[in-house]
Amino acid sequence: MQLRAEGKTFSTEEHLQGLIYSLLSAQTVWANIERNFDNIDRLFFFYDINEIKKHDYKFFVDGLRSFGCGSRLSNAQMKALHGNLITIEKIIAEYGSMDAFVTSKSQREIVKLMSSSGSKYKLRQFGPALTWEYLRNVGVDGAKPDVHMKRILGANRLGVSKKEDASDDEVLDAIEQLSKETGLWMAQIDYLFWLYCATDKGEICTASPRCDKCVVKEFCNM
């Protein structure tokens, strides 16, 4: 976020890196992905789109599994990869670059374009949460409405929502308001919440919360 605020333009390779990191974050322990950034970068040829296109999905699935970053989603994710590259190339042809595309409209509009069924910019295997993750990876501020955020802001925890799990918009609205009040990036606030909840991180407000360790329990409905 700070780099973009200072005027940085992110390259196609950096956008592909952000997309791959986001994709691999789905239904896995993120700490394991973090430990293997170097292996992932090498496996995907440092995000050279032409080199990636030379290899079929099994090459990448086998590679991910070789250093312990495979998941039950890997086959579907890697099968979608070549089709997603075609979509990315179409976006670049239309807008001049991925960077121009992701900054051409509001964050929420871009997320809808890239994650909604029927959109010509839809990337397979990407829903709203992973699309938000990708945008943050290339310096576009926002929050990721994932399972952790929806749960902690739900009716049974901090009570932002009246439902057990907060909706995407409720998460985004809450974090946006906190950003305005604190002057912090939405991504910074989201990260603090995520650290409080995630496996191999804070592990406080998990599915089975450790309320005895919680420092905000006076504000919680548990």
- The confidence score (pLDDT) of residue 162 equals 95
pLDDT tens-digit readout, 96-151: 999 999 999 999 999 999 999 999 999 999 999 999 999 999 999 999 888 999 99
Asked if residue 55 lies in contact with residue 22, where contact means CB atoms within 8 angstroms, the answer is: no
The pLDDT, as a whole number, for residue 27 is 82
Residue 200 has pLDDT above 90, yes or no: no
Task: Indicate if the pLDDT at residue 29 is higher than 90.
Answer: no
Which runs of consecutive H residues, i.e. helices, occur in the chain? 2-5, 12-24, 30-35, 37-43, 49-53, 57-66, 74-79, 81-95, 98-102, 107-115, 128-137, 147-152, 168-182, 186-197
**105 and 119 in contact (C-beta within 8 Å)?**
no
